[in-house]
Amino acid sequence: MFKKVLVANRGAIAVRIIQAIQELGLTAVAIYSTPDERSLHLHWADETYHIPGEVPQDTYLNIHAILDIAKKSKVDAIHPGYGFLSENAEFAEKVNKAGITFVGPSPEAIRSMGLKTEARRIMQLANVPIVPGYQGEDRSTKTLLDKAEEIGYPILVKASAGGGGKGMKIVQVPSELETAVESAKREALKAFGDDTIYLEKYLEEPRHIEVQILGDHSGNIIHLFERECSIQRRHQKILEEAPSIFLTPKIRENICCAAVNAAKAVNYVNAGTVEFIVDKFHNFYFLEMNTRLQVEHSVTEMTTGVDIVKLQLKIAAGESLPFSQNEILQKGHSIEVRIYAEDPVNNFLPSTGIIRFLEPPIGVNIRNDLGIHAGVPVTLFYDPLLAKLTVFDSTRTTAIEKLKWAIDRYGISGIRTNIPFLREIVNHPEFIKGNTTTNFIEKFFSNWNVPHQSIPDEAFALAALSEYINQEKSEYHSSVDFESDPFSPWIGE
Amino acid sequence: MFKKVLVANRGAIAVRIIQAIQELGLTAVAIYSTPDERSLHLHWADETYHIPGEVPQDTYLNIHAILDIAKKSKVDAIHPGYGFLSENAEFAEKVNKAGITFVGPSPEAIRSMGLKTEARRIMQLANVPIVPGYQGEDRSTKTLLDKAEEIGYPILVKASAGGGGKGMKIVQVPSELETAVESAKREALKAFGDDTIYLEKYLEEPRHIEVQILGDHSGNIIHLFERECSIQRRHQKILEEAPSIFLTPKIRENICCAAVNAAKAVNYVNAGTVEFIVDKFHNFYFLEMNTRLQVEHSVTEMTTGVDIVKLQLKIAAGESLPFSQNEILQKGHSIEVRIYAEDPVNNFLPSTGIIRFLEPPIGVNIRNDLGIHAGVPVTLFYDPLLAKLTVFDSTRTTAIEKLKWAIDRYGISGIRTNIPFLREIVNHPEFIKGNTTTNFIEKFFSNWNVPHQSIPDEAFALAALSEYINQEKSEYHSSVDFESDPFSPWIGE
Amino acid sequence: MKEFYYEVNQEITKVTIQKIGNHVWKAIVNERELTIHLDDRQSTRLDVRINGRGYHCHIDTQGNDRFISWKGSTYALRRVDSLASHVQNLDNVKEKDFEPEIRSPMPGKVVKIHVQEGDIVVAKQPLLILEAMKMEYVITAPKDCIIQKILFHENDQVDLGNTLITLTLKNE
Amino acid sequence: MKEFYYEVNQEITKVTIQKIGNHVWKAIVNERELTIHLDDRQSTRLDVRINGRGYHCHIDTQGNDRFISWKGSTYALRRVDSLASHVQNLDNVKEKDFEPEIRSPMPGKVVKIHVQEGDIVVAKQPLLILEAMKMEYVITAPKDCIIQKILFHENDQVDLGNTLITLTLKNE
């Protein structure tokens, strides 16, 4: 096993990986950008290194700086988390060349799956069904317009290196195509350092269902069943669950089997996810393979009892999978919601500020993955994902009961979050029925506004009490220039 | 289903039951004694009622007052939790007579199992093996001395109504018997309102293994497998786990089957636990049946995925068990430790005070059951159990890794706790090997002292920073009589 | 005896509060009387008993915004000076249905400007693109209008509320 | 420049601390230099950067006890006036190997007194029983001695440190 592992990430996923490293008795090394000086992952890491700079290109995407730190701190391995460099084949290659283990698949697997066009070719060879599209290298406006016409509108413009909804645009009519392509390229360049895009048929009323894969260096590849991640807002996943209530046992077997075949086609090692689009007739199409850990891995962990991140480290260290496919059972139901720094009152625009207090719900079968802490600033430089809330119960119905309870008890202040929106989703009758297609939000929340909240008398009384005390305090101390320095440590209360 | 349920308890278990009630969409009613005015269970309940008084006899054991509140608040059911009135047949009877559902077994089952002597008689009839002992009504010193001689020393003096180690004393030699009996009676009277005691053979090097039972009103009785609770200090459980690594699959089947038979012998309904003593030859003896929820139910919940408390409510409302025995699987490994307000530096004497801050470890497969919150006073009136920390992982080894991580990250101040002791237990090589007999603590920790903690330089620097700021502050405000009132709300910081 | 006013969803609630003892207050809200014992105050956290029952609350003050966390939910109130002043404010807002300037709805970076000063644009036409947290947001024209001034350049950082573009209605 | 002393396990650690800027201090502990930026202080919580790296800590002060929560663990230090004064205290303690009084090791209730004033008792003999949190604790004689005074009755409440019984050594 390794002795020391560097986490090339930030936020909730860095915290989660640091825990896994430390549980295994290893030393966890964190990196941080300048705006992240006070971030939670530093608090928990065993060693920390600063990469001066703000934007991702200078910091968490800075391959050179990260490799320097990895060498200086003498780590055995680097875990990239998700986002940032997690699907960057060049990075994986350079890590390996430096004699350090990259916790993930081979650079070749990342490269072939990371280029969606290449991935589709491989899947076609492996007889995994794919969605019609155009991945040609001629990306002139004219060609793209022609190809879009062939595939048929609506069309999805997607970033080849993409993921997480970045660099993804729907085009309903030809006149929108050029602007969409331009915007997708810009977003892709920012997010992934690569502005290659491709076109794909946009399936209406589809579900997004993905299969978690684990492969070891001895050639064993197993799946940990599926997750359904259909509920997305602007291609950003909001709520994920396992199992999908849409799949029959037979279709589940088929889709999981297709996923294992897809992984075998690239001799896949470590954790990965094969994403499918499933239409209402249960036809499923390969969408893409994410050659990394995913945000929503927690719902798989809760329904299978497998700690995926600890296994990633063990696999990377050369250990074989400790169980065979038939020892993996999918049990109960788990749902995750993502807490974003987005203000639903203000059209989901990003919200920034310092977290003033944070009291996530604590209870039976409630899991919190936190990237924040009271006192931590939320800046505009990185992804707005602050935390994840995951629940487990024996059935979907009781898991929803628990999720409602938990969302209603999520105490956070200092920034605005999408919690009021999440509350509405889990209370929506169509969600409860399981009618969760990828256009769920467009369909049921297109003209949504934050509902008027009924405020208990106690909240008003507490606000007034607080004013009363503050007025009394300032009268009492009127002779002293008590609050002239807003950062004075003794007026922090 | 009910509409409104009263929780006749306090602390972490009241908080846990309130969550279950609220998840089911029902209204949770809490009661509280005078010292509990600021307790956490009030914070979460939907309605709260005060029972003036401090000691349990006047408050949480006050049947009359609790029934009055139940009628006044028009509840449909009362959940007694554990301890207090949970095994009081008279209470269950009076609740039922008032037309309210008692969330638990019938008063008859409580009575027959609650009287350990009667329980032993029933088990003998059902061919469940029992430990040799004396349960006669002649409890004169002479008779007890004679019977003890017959059974053979060491002897255990136990309270008939007991549980949780209260009213339980070991006697090594005849001369200690009388004092032990007297003390056991006093403790039993205080804790359970009944000073009946009995004698039992004290088995050396035994393990405490218990089986969780669930029965419904349709006569279905199933088990949720075993828990091992051998690690006890002064008969107070400290650490519990599921499964027991000591049992072979065959013995596991036998002991679970014996437990179901025991429950069937009294037509058991709702959640209960059949406790066994297992000797080193895998012989098991019936010890007692706890006709209530147990503190350590969380390890069973984590390994079976069943929410026992929600099921208790559903069963009490007349629903049938939603699954059959063969649908219940025991998966992975779970360990719970109990956080007590006991000072290990000061011979484990109770520690009281106000919780100044509390940051329990948050992480993957880590469960916190909390009865406390920053700002809550811990008094001497009730049980010193503050909170439980439960972890889950796929194997015992990895669960221990996680537990170590979590114990090392349990932030609490304001009172002293047994956390340093728990840390030593989970790091002890004999615990890691699984050599967990009930005399584990006596054997390996008899002359234990809190080890010298190595203090990081940062902790000293932070302490000094705090002194510096406080001195500067008091110099700055020397003209104002700023801190004359220790409860002044604006010097709270 | 003090009075405070809070606005939520354009409705005003008045709270009357009076100190009636050492760390005890009486508040009247919606004709309901609440006796509040303040047991402890630590930073944003208030430990109180309201009508005898304990709560651990948080109060976060940001300008006139009050975020009250009570029993797990966080409620957002806005303190206003009085019933009258606020209603007037609301009236002002209601009278205007066209704002002659577009303000930035968030802090972020201007990544693209689609228009030039003097351009005539139609309602919903994209004017510029802001970026924050790796996502792009398109700012569109509220009505058919004429672009007067563009106050930022591409790649400029803007703050919440900065005026980005001034406009006049096309038919004015 | 200020100096503070802390005792842990009877060892004294000296900390030198100096304010070197606005919300910045330099501390020297065990010859190691730590630069501390104070970003925020809320009640017991201190948000600091130590040598550039952020931590969310808690500091709880109870008399001379300091409970420092740093990276999840809580450390107990005891502030002492100086190196000299403390060592002297320790010496005083060491000289005494018999305390002529038994103090209550915890707050609780006296449930049973086994002895009377004037009784001669042997080492480890039970003298009285205290109860707290529903558990009983037996107070025993430290050596062979004579009971001088019993300061409480059965059912009395006692606080931590209250003298319960005074004693003299039997052979004195």
Each residue's pLDDT tens digit, C2-49 = 999 999 888 899 999 999 998 999 999 999 999 999 988 877 888 899
Q: What is the mean pLDDT of residues B401-421?
A: 93
Tens digit of pLDDT for each residue in B137-175? 899 999 999 999 998 898 999 888 766 567 788 899 998
* Chain C residue at shortest CA distance from A471: C2
Residue D93 has a pLDDT of 45
Residue D88 has a pLDDT of 47
Active site residues of A: 292
Tens digit of pLDDT for each residue in A43-59? 999 999 999 999 899 99
Residues of A in contact with C65 (CB under 8 A): none
Domains belonging to chain C, first-starting first, are 2-84 (3.30.700.30), 97-169 (2.40.50.100)
User: Residue D147 is encoded by which pair of tokens?
Assistant: 């009971």
Residue keyed to tokens 């806005």: C78
Choose, from B120, B292, B416, B423, the residue flagged as catalytic: B292
User: Residue D168 is encoded by which pair of tokens?
Assistant: 């003299």
Candidates B413, B472, B493: best to mutate against D (most CBs of D within 10 A) is B413
Answer for the pair A159, A186: CB distance below 8 angstroms, yes or no. no
- Under the banding of pLDDT at 50, 70 and 90, the label for residue B13 is very high
Per DSSP, the three-state class of D62 is: strand
Shortest Cα distance, chain A CAs vs residue B153, angstroms: 43
Residue keyed to tokens 């059209």: A347
> CB-CB: which of C23, C55, C72 is closest to B489?
C23
Interchain proximity B462–D106, CB inside 8 Å: no
Residues 6+ apart with CB under 8 A from A306: A214, A224, A300, A328, B394
Answer for the pair B288, B273: CB distance below 8 angstroms, yes or no. no
Tens digit of pLDDT for each residue in A456-493? 999 999 999 999 988 887 765 544 433 333 343 333 33
Residue D72 has a pLDDT of 75
Residue A486 has a pLDDT of 36
Q: Is the peptide bond before B154 cis (omega within 30 degrees of 0)?
A: yes
Three-state secondary structure string covering A390-407? EEEECCHHHHHHHHHHHH
Residues of A in contact with D22 (CB under 8 A): 487
Interchain proximity C25–A465, CB inside 8 Å: yes
**Cβ-based neighbour number of residue B58 at 10 Å:** 15
Residues 6+ apart with CB under 8 A from B299: B227, B240, B241, B242, B334, B335, B336, B390
* Chain B residue at shortest CA distance from A473: B490
Question: Following CA atoms A218, A219, A224, A228 in sequence, which dihedral angle do they give, to the nearest 10 degrees?
Answer: 140
- Between residues A471 and B191, which one has the greater pLDDT? A471
Residue B55 has a pLDDT of 87
pLDDT at A65 over 50: yes
Residues 6+ apart with CB under 8 A from D172: none
Shortest Cα distance, chain A CAs vs residue C13, angstroms: 8
Residues of A in contact with C129 (CB under 8 A): 183
Residue B493 has a pLDDT of 33
The one-letter code for the residue type at B170 is I
> CB-CB: which of A43, A487, A492 is closest to D42?
A492
CA dist B133 and B149 (Å) reads: 11
Looking at the complex, does the CB of residue C2 fall below 8 Å from at least one CB of chain B? no
pLDDT at B317 over 90: yes
Residue A90 has a pLDDT of 96
Question: Following CA atoms A238, A23, D54, B375 in sequence, which dihedral angle do they give, to the nearest 10 degrees?
Answer: 80
Shortest Cα distance, chain B CAs vs residue A479, angstroms: 9
Tens digit of pLDDT for each residue in D10-64? 889 999 999 999 899 999 999 999 999 998 887 788 889 999 888 888 898 888 8
Residue C85 has a pLDDT of 53
Chain C residues 131-170 with a CB less than 8 Å from chain D: none
Tens digit of pLDDT for each residue in A284-306? 999 899 999 999 999 999 999 99
Give me the percent of chain A exceeding a pLDDT of 70. 95
pLDDT at D81 over 70: yes
Residues of A in contact with B373 (CB under 8 A): none
Answer for the pair A295, A390: CB distance below 8 angstroms, yes or no. no
Residue A23 has a pLDDT of 96
- Between residues A190 and B74, which one has the greater pLDDT? B74
Q: Is C162 left (phi over 0), alpha (psi -120 to 50) or beta?
A: beta
Spacing of C-alpha A387 from chain mean position: 10
Nearest alpha-carbon partner for A382 in A394, A371, A373: A371
Lowest-confidence pick of B66-80, B94-108, C65-79? C65-79
Per DSSP, the three-state class of B50 is: strand
- Between residues A356 and B86, which one has the greater pLDDT? B86
* Chain D residue at shortest CA distance from C40: D43
Nearest alpha-carbon partner for A335 in A228, A209, A207: A228
Nearest alpha-carbon partner for A373 in D69, B372, B41, C105: D69
Q: How many CA atoms does the CB half-sphere of C39 hold within 13 Å?
A: 23
Answer for the pair B184, B230: CB distance below 8 angstroms, yes or no. no
Tens digit of pLDDT for each residue in B384-393? 999 999 999 9
Shortest Cα distance, chain B CAs vs residue C53, angstroms: 6
CA dist B224 and B309 (Å) reads: 13
Tens digit of pLDDT for each residue in D96-142? 567 788 888 777 889 889 999 999 998 888 899 888 776 778 888 88
Tens digit of pLDDT for each residue in B255-267? 999 999 999 999 9
- Under the banding of pLDDT at 50, 70 and 90, the label for residue D170 is confident
Active site residue B10: no
Looking at the complex, does the CB of residue D74 fall below 8 Å from at least one CB of chain B? yes
- Under the banding of pLDDT at 50, 70 and 90, the label for residue A136 is confident
Burial of A303 (0-12, 13-18, 19+ CB in 10 A): buried
Looking at the complex, does the CB of residue C23 fall below 8 Å from at least one CB of chain B? yes
Residue keyed to tokens 């004497």: B349
Residue A476 has a pLDDT of 59
- Between residues A205 and A378, which one has the greater pLDDT? A378
**Cβ-based neighbour number of residue A207 at 10 Å:** 24
Residues 6+ apart with CB under 8 A from D101: D163, D164, D165, D166, D167
Looking at the complex, does the CB of residue C24 fall below 8 Å from at least one CB of chain B? no
Nearest alpha-carbon partner for B374 in B363, B360, B362: B360
> CB-CB: which of D69, D79, D135 is closest to B413?
D69
Give me the percent of chain D exceeding a pLDDT of 70. 90
Q: What is the mean pLDDT of chain A?
A: 91
CA dist A446 and B109 (Å) reads: 57
- Under the banding of pLDDT at 50, 70 and 90, the label for residue B477 is low
CA dist B19 and B171 (Å) reads: 42
Q: What is the mean pLDDT of residues A326-353?
A: 91
Q: Which parts of B163-234 fold into alpha helices (H)? A: 177-192
* Chain A residue at shortest CA distance from C69: A411
* Chain C residue at shortest CA distance from A381: C133
Q: Is the peptide bond before B243 cis (omega within 30 degrees of 0)?
A: yes
Looking at the complex, does the CB of residue D36 fall below 8 Å from at least one CB of chain B? yes
pLDDT at A253 over 60: yes
- Under the banding of pLDDT at 50, 70 and 90, the label for residue B451 is confident
Q: Is the peptide bond before A129 cis (omega within 30 degrees of 0)?
A: no
Residues 6+ apart with CB under 8 A from B58: B33, B51, B52
Q: How many CA atoms does the CB half-sphere of C58 hold within 13 Å?
A: 26
Q: What is the mean pLDDT of residues A362-378?
A: 94
Residue B163 has a pLDDT of 61
φ, ψ for residue B286 (rounded to 5)? -65, 130
Residue A452 has a pLDDT of 79
Residue D169 has a pLDDT of 87
Answer for the pair B432, B403: CB distance below 8 angstroms, yes or no. no
> CB-CB: which of B341, B351, B460 is closest to D77?
B460
DSSP symbol at B451: P
Q: What is the mean pLDDT of residues A75-89?
A: 96
CA dist C11 and C34 (Å) reads: 21
- Under the banding of pLDDT at 50, 70 and 90, the label for residue D147 is very high
Looking at the complex, does the CB of residue D136 fall below 8 Å from at least one CB of chain B? yes
Q: What is the mean pLDDT of chain C?
A: 84
Give me the percent of chain B exceeding a pLDDT of 70. 95
For chain A, list the contacting chains (3+ Cβ pairs, <8 Å).
Answer: B, C, D
pLDDT at B465 over 50: yes
pLDDT at B483 over 70: no
- Between residues C88 and D70, which one has the greater pLDDT? D70
What counts of helices (H) and strands (E) characterise chain C?
A: 1, 16
Total count of residues recorded for chain D:
172
Residues of A in contact with C36 (CB under 8 A): 461-462, 465
pTM: 0.84
> CB-CB: which of D32, D111, D137 is closest to B457?
D32
CA dist B292 and B353 (Å) reads: 30
Interchain proximity D71–A43, CB inside 8 Å: yes
Answer for the pair A49, A29: CB distance below 8 angstroms, yes or no. yes
User: Residue A107 is encoded by which pair of tokens?
Assistant: 């650079």
Q: What is the mean pLDDT of residues C96-103?
A: 78
- Under the banding of pLDDT at 50, 70 and 90, the label for residue B329 is very high
DSSP symbol at B243: S
Strand-pairing partners, residue A274, are: A211, A289
Lowest-confidence pick of A401-410, A421-430, B449-458? B449-458
Nearest alpha-carbon partner for A229 in A214, A213, A210: A210
CA dist B198 and A35 (Å) reads: 67
Residues of C in contact with A368 (CB under 8 A): none
Residues of A in contact with D45 (CB under 8 A): 374-375
Strand-pairing partners, residue B340, are: B385
